[in-house]
Amino acid sequence: MKLSKSGRLTGSVSALALRSAALSAVALGLAAPVMAQEAKTTEDVTEVVVTGQRAQVKTAQKLKRDAESVVDSITATDIGALPDRSVSEALQRVAGVTLQRTDAARDPARLSGEGGAIFVRGLSYVTTLLNGREVFSAKNGRSIGFEDVSADLMAGVDVYKSTVAEQIEGALGGTVNLRTRLPFDSKNRIIAFTADRNYGDLRDQAFVSGGITYSDRWDTPIGEVGLLLNASVSNVGTRSNAFTTDRFDQVAGVGTTSTADDRFAPKAAGYRTIDWEQKREAVAAAVQWRPLDTLEFTLQYLNTKATPKSLEHSTGYSDNLLSPNSSYTYDSQGQFTGGVFNNTIHRNVTRSGVDNKETSDISLGAKWRVSDKLTLNAEYQKVKSTSKVISFTVGTELMDQVDVKLDLYGSKTPVFTTYNACYRDCTPTIPTVANVNDPTRYLYNFAMDHLEDNDAEQSAYRVDALYEFDSDWLRSLKGGIRVADKTATTRENGYNWGAVSQDAAWNGNNVTKDPPISGMIDYYNFANFFRGDAQAPAGGVFPSVQLADYYGSRDKIATAAADLGWGWVPFNGNYDAVEPGRADNPTSGTITQNEKTSAVYGVLRFGNDTIMQGFDGNVGVRVIKTELSNGTGLRGNPGALANVTAANINPNSSAALRQEVLDAIAITAVGGTVKGIQIENEYTDVLPSLNLRLKATDQVQLRLSLSKAIVRPSFGQMQPYTTLGVSATLVQALGPNGQPIPAPTQADPTATLQYVSAIEYNGSGGNPNLQPMEANAYDFSAEWYFAPTGSLTLAVFRKDLKNYFFGSTENESYTIGGKTKAYSVFRTRNGDKGTIDGLELAYSQFYDFLPGPLSGLGLQANYTIVNSSGGKNTAVNISEPEQRSGAQADLPLEGLSEKSYNVAFIYEKYGISARLAYNWRSEYLMTTSAANIKAPVWSEDYGQWDGSILYSVTPKLKLGLQVTNLGREKTYLKVGNPDRLARYAWFDTDRRVAITLRGQF
């Protein structure tokens, strides 16, 4: 194949080649590259116009082929023409990239509306850049969520899998660079628009989005000037339905953990519907000025605002599920499959949440070609980001205990049957359907708020110089510096739960008689649940949507709860008074942290065109000094020892134990919080890199890359706090005849005396002295480019990792009340080693040599295998015992699927641009300890078809249809350790259909 003078791709084939190529297309096209080579030998020529997806493939292939490191790219040749609805969904098509489809791995019960986090080569440590510069959100201060970025603004997305010394550090898996457009990218004026109507078939609601772009350039008396303006408004909404259980625990009185007749059942079960929607507004602007042919200035600005909102209705059944029950059935592993839960608590919950996120990025760059050998570059960047979260949950509870029949596997989904509503004074003998719609049988159960007010900002400067050589081997030398100053402030409370009515005594007011919130209820019935594929679960009386409006109802609920004397009290907004590192939120309280980085880098580029078809590469080093100021250290002293006084000292115990108890009592009497000194940390990293490329033929090239990379710990992991505790082990005190010694109290006249048999000193806290996690990376790839839109590539990689972020306990000495003790303190620390290795195989081709309409066919496919050994998972919440034990367990790395693949069937001809794509990843560990259920959770194998078709109505106007989740695939999760897994969650979500209109003039 070749390019004709008109700029069009041309090629020719023989009849034999046509027959062979047709067969190869059916067999994933693996033999088709040979046919493409044979096409050069004949005289018949078929012209192929390079537009649409063909142009995207061609541009991405050229970027990969010409890159000086291992890169995969996605390009948008048309404005707003990324091949998927979101950036994250587009990235999952790249070899080695996998997509997490939940909002947060630790909260797997809630699916993401627009994709989620990505993993590159099995690792979540991915850095996001915007036009080669660092960008982040206030939530974590390290990277920006792809849901915060408008796909309409993107000119392309690059995934760097190996590094060059001039790239910003901070990624172990890979670096994702989001590229926006510049006015000098186009020779002529561009006025473009996009519009779409996006419909979710489960939500049964449509959302409208649109964008407009203007770009032009002019010759003026002061030089050439270019201007680009882009505005985008994106609206999207989804619904997800879910059946879930809790973790599976041993049924009381049945077996032991070491016998074969163990029986396990869920602690709780329920179902939910979540309606999620997001409005995202983005504005981008760029000005370029070239006063001289050798001097150019670029000013870029991006502002993106995203407001994701969710409304959740859920019903849960708890209590008594683990009691012995003859109705329970089990599988061969002893896992519950069905039965009747007797006398359960029925709760209905309404939860609303909103996150107001905004990120702005402004940069000014200058490029001056001083001479034909020397070029200078300078750049300044300012990033600001804010995130304000309001999450509010309110629940009602049925006053009557109910029986629930659950069949986990009797249908496509679990089947719940609720009956036998047992009123306070009745014991029904005839099964009847529970009256879950009677508001007089409900009381308001609880309220819970969670608020965040986070912000982060950074100023960064970069200056470098490029010197080009006249040499057979040396091409250029580039050196520079980059200085960045980032400040991040986290303000969060915990999950502030409190009772609203006196449900424990069964004498609270029902929801119709509980002023001032009387009657603030909705009847919710889970309509069209799982599209009718599941038996519609019982609905009932829920807190109304208005009651779940935090600022509109918090004072009313607090008034209703006040008569309890200990009921729910809304958060007062004083984040400074919130205890840091709470068990329900590891990033609670107020903490301001500052990070300064100073980097010096140098890259020597070399090459020789006489070695085979050419040999080139680069060698460089990046040296970074990091200075951290993590705020004032806080220490929470141990609280009072419950039920321990001097009376609990055994007079017959050792003198050392008697003194230990007295010391513990004295220590816990001090209490309070102690402020320490400003916590600072400093370290320097040296990151060498080497990238080599050998052009074996004019179509085949080999690459070898060696590099070292780091990822810094999150700001949350480095919070400077320590919470200490003292605990006592009590045993029954016995009299001379072996009888318990009475110790009556007013609260319990039958109480007996307890003696202290042991004292333990413990604690947990953040670690402001954490060092970066490191990886030595080795990459080898073979790339065959047999056509401008045809390639076959193989990449083999290995990463040797060390200094994992993992939780461990060490003894630390503290003096409190004049008593110095060694406390066993659990923190996130550096340690352990591990390895990740694998391979990526990718194939892409348009079958231009096929006759007539068939010449528009194309195929893209890739397959990835990733293996890991050693290493540790991170305990996200070190204050939660299950998180600590889960992170220390012998489990795979979170987020790592051993296998994944993509297949995309493409058609591009006669103004039609169509794609049918399938994405699949194998089972993986989502989290070592999920929120609430506090056990490991696994995502089962998942694959999904997506499709699109676009028709050029005119050369400047295109009308299209995009479908996401074409086959209405369901998501399934498992819970437990590898030797005893049970499916615990079933999810259904929308098939999204979008009608799109694009114009470019």
pTM listed for this prediction: 0.89
**Which domain does 369 fall in, by range?**
2-13+51-428+436-633+679-720+766-1000
Q: What is the mean pLDDT of residues 661-684?
A: 90
Query: Quick one: pLDDT at residue 592?
Result: 92
Tell me if residue 90 falls in helix, strand or coil.
helix
Q: Show the tokens assigned to 701.
A: 């090239």
474-523: pLDDT as tens digits? 999 999 999 999 999 999 999 999 999 865 444 567 888 888 999 999 99
Q: Show the tokens assigned to 530.
A: 């799982």
Query: Quick one: pLDDT at residue 46?
Result: 38
Q: What is the 3-state secondary structure (H, E, C) of 873-924?
A: CCCCCCCCHHHHHHHHCCCCCCCCCCEEEEEEEEEEECCEEEEEEEEEECCE
DSSP codes, 198-250: EEETTTTEEEEEEEEEEEEEEEETTEEEEEEEEEEEEEEEEEEEEEEE--EEE
Angle at CA of residue 920, ends 915 and 923, nearest 5° = 170
587 contact partners, CB below 8 Å, separation of at least 6: 490, 492, 716, 719
Q: What is the mean pLDDT of residues 198-217?
A: 95
Asked if residue 759 is part of any domain, the answer here is no
Q: What is the mean pLDDT of residues 944-961?
A: 95
651 φψ region: left (φ > 0), alpha (ψ -120 to 50), beta (else):
alpha
Cα dihedral angle (922, 925, 927, 933), rounded to 10 degrees? 100
Query: Quick one: pLDDT at residue 27?
Result: 37
pLDDT of residue 390 exceeding 60, the answer is yes
Number of domains making up the chain? 1
Asked if residue 206 is part of any domain, the answer here is yes
**Could you tell me how far CA 593 lies from the centroid of its own chain?**
23
Q: What is the mean pLDDT of residues 248-265?
A: 72
pLDDT of residue 386 exceeding 80, the answer is yes
Which of 681 and 875 is assigned the larger pLDDT? 681
Beta-sheet pairing, 615-636 with 673-695: antiparallel
DSSP codes, 840-880: EEEEEEE-TTS-GGGGGEEEEEEEEEEEEEE-----S-TTS
Q: Among 244, 45, 50, which residue's Cα sits nearest to residue 856?
A: 50
Please classify residue 824 by burial: count the beta carbons closer than 10 Å to its beta carbon, then call 0-12 exposed, 13-18 middle and 19+ buried: middle
Most confident of the following: 439-443, 838-842, 884-888? 838-842
pLDDT of residue 288 exceeding 90, the answer is yes
Q: What is the mean pLDDT of residues 142-156?
A: 84
| Alpha carbons within 13 A on the beta-carbon side of 535 | 14
Asked if residue 693 is part of any domain, the answer here is yes
Lowest mean pLDDT among 138-142, 372-376, 849-853: 138-142
Query: Quick one: pLDDT at residue 509?
Result: 76
332 contact partners, CB below 8 Å, separation of at least 6: none
| CA–CA gap between residue 946 and residue 991 (Å, rounded) | 9
pLDDT of residue 679 exceeding 50, the answer is yes
| CA–CA gap between residue 382 and residue 485 (Å, rounded) | 10
Cα dihedral angle (468, 469, 471, 474), rounded to 10 degrees? -70
Tell me if residue 546 falls in helix, strand or coil.
coil
Which helix (H) or strand (E) segment is 538 a member of?
none
Average pLDDT, whole number, for the chain? 88
Query: Quick one: pLDDT at residue 418?
Result: 78
Residue whose pair of structure tokens reads 């016995």 in the numeric block: 734
> Residue 843: phi, psi to the nearest 5?
-140, 140
Please classify residue 83 by burial: count the beta carbons closer than 10 Å to its beta carbon, then call 0-12 exposed, 13-18 middle and 19+ buried: buried
Beta-sheet pairing, 268-292 with 264-266: unpaired
Neighbours of 424 (CB within 10 A): 9
- CATH number of the domain enclosing 593: 2.40.170.20
| CA–CA gap between residue 822 and residue 486 (Å, rounded) | 36
pLDDT of residue 430 exceeding 70, the answer is no
Tell me if residue 420 falls in helix, strand or coil.
strand
Query: Quick one: pLDDT at residue 11?
Result: 38
Tell whether the torsion through CA atoms of 337, 340, 341 and 345 is positive or negative.
positive
Tell me if residue 508 falls in helix, strand or coil.
coil
Beta-sheet pairing, 154-160 with 133-134: unpaired
107-139: pLDDT as tens digits? 887 877 677 789 999 999 999 999 999 999 997
The residues with which 190 forms a beta bridge, in sequence order, are: 215
Q: Show the tokens assigned to 605.
A: 């580029």
Query: Quick one: pLDDT at residue 675?
Result: 83
Query: Quick one: pLDDT at residue 34?
Result: 37
Which helix (H) or strand (E) segment is 181 a member of?
none
| CA–CA gap between residue 1 and residue 810 (Å, rounded) | 66
| CA–CA gap between residue 640 and residue 642 (Å, rounded) | 6
56-111: pLDDT as tens digits? 899 999 999 999 999 999 988 765 566 677 888 889 999 999 998 887 778 887 87
686-734: pLDDT as tens digits? 999 999 999 999 999 999 999 999 999 999 899 899 999 999 999 999 9
Tell whether the torsion through CA atoms of 133, 137, 143 and 145 is positive or negative.
negative
pLDDT of residue 164 exceeding 60, the answer is yes
pLDDT of residue 362 exceeding 90, the answer is yes
Asked if residue 751 is part of any domain, the answer here is no
| CA–CA gap between residue 263 and residue 502 (Å, rounded) | 35
Asked if residue 753 is part of any domain, the answer here is no
- Contacts for 33-37: CB closer than 8 Å, 24+ residues apart: 33/784, 33/786, 33/787, 33/790, 33/792, 33/845, 35/849, 36/1, 36/11, 36/786, 36/787, 36/790, 36/845, 36/848, 36/849, 37/786
Query: Quick one: pLDDT at residue 843?
Result: 98
Lowest mean pLDDT among 399-413, 646-660, 926-940: 399-413
| CA–CA gap between residue 354 and residue 552 (Å, rounded) | 14
The CA-atom distances, in angstroms, between 182 and each of 73, 150, 186, 263, 760 are: 18, 16, 8, 64, 63
Q: Among 4, 13, 60, which residue's Cα sits nearest to residue 40?
A: 13
**Could you tell me how far CA 189 lies from the centroid of its own chain?**
39
Query: Quick one: pLDDT at residue 433?
Result: 57
pLDDT of residue 565 exceeding 80, the answer is no
Asked if residue 667 is part of any domain, the answer here is no
Query: Quick one: pLDDT at residue 83?
Result: 65
Q: What is the mean pLDDT of residues 41-45?
A: 37
Query: Quick one: pLDDT at residue 417?
Result: 82
**Could you tell me how far CA 807 lies from the centroid of its own chain?**
21
Q: What is the mean pLDDT of residues 141-152?
A: 82
Q: Show the tokens assigned to 904.
A: 């995309």
Contact 460, 170 (CB under 8 A): no
The b-or-e profile of 963-982 (16+ CB within 10 A means b, else e) is bbbbebebbbbbbbeeeebb
Q: What is the mean pLDDT of residues 437-448?
A: 90
Q: What is the 3-state secondary structure (H, E, C) of 763-814?
A: EEECCCCCCCEEEEEEEEEEEEEEECCEEEEEEEEEEEEEEEEEEEEEEEEE
| CA–CA gap between residue 933 and residue 269 (Å, rounded) | 11
Lowest mean pLDDT among 248-262, 300-314, 404-418, 659-673: 248-262
Q: How long, in residues, is the chain? A: 1001
pLDDT of residue 52 exceeding 90, the answer is no
Which of 110 and 446 is assigned the larger pLDDT? 446
The b-or-e profile of 321-358 (16+ CB within 10 A means b, else e) is bbeebeebebeeebbbebbbbbebbbbbbbbbbebebb
Q: Show the tokens assigned to 528.
A: 């069209």
Asked if residue 754 is part of any domain, the answer here is no
Q: What is the mean pLDDT of residues 735-763?
A: 92
Contact 438, 424 (CB under 8 A): no
**Could you tell me how far CA 734 lies from the centroid of its own chain?**
56
| CA–CA gap between residue 728 and residue 657 (Å, rounded) | 11
265-276: pLDDT as tens digits? 999 999 999 999
**Percentage of the chain surpassing pLDDT 70?**
91
Query: Quick one: pLDDT at residue 24?
Result: 37
Q: What is residue 760's DSSP assignment?
A: E
737 contact partners, CB below 8 Å, separation of at least 6: none
Contact 260, 332 (CB under 8 A): no
| CA–CA gap between residue 326 and residue 801 (Å, rounded) | 51
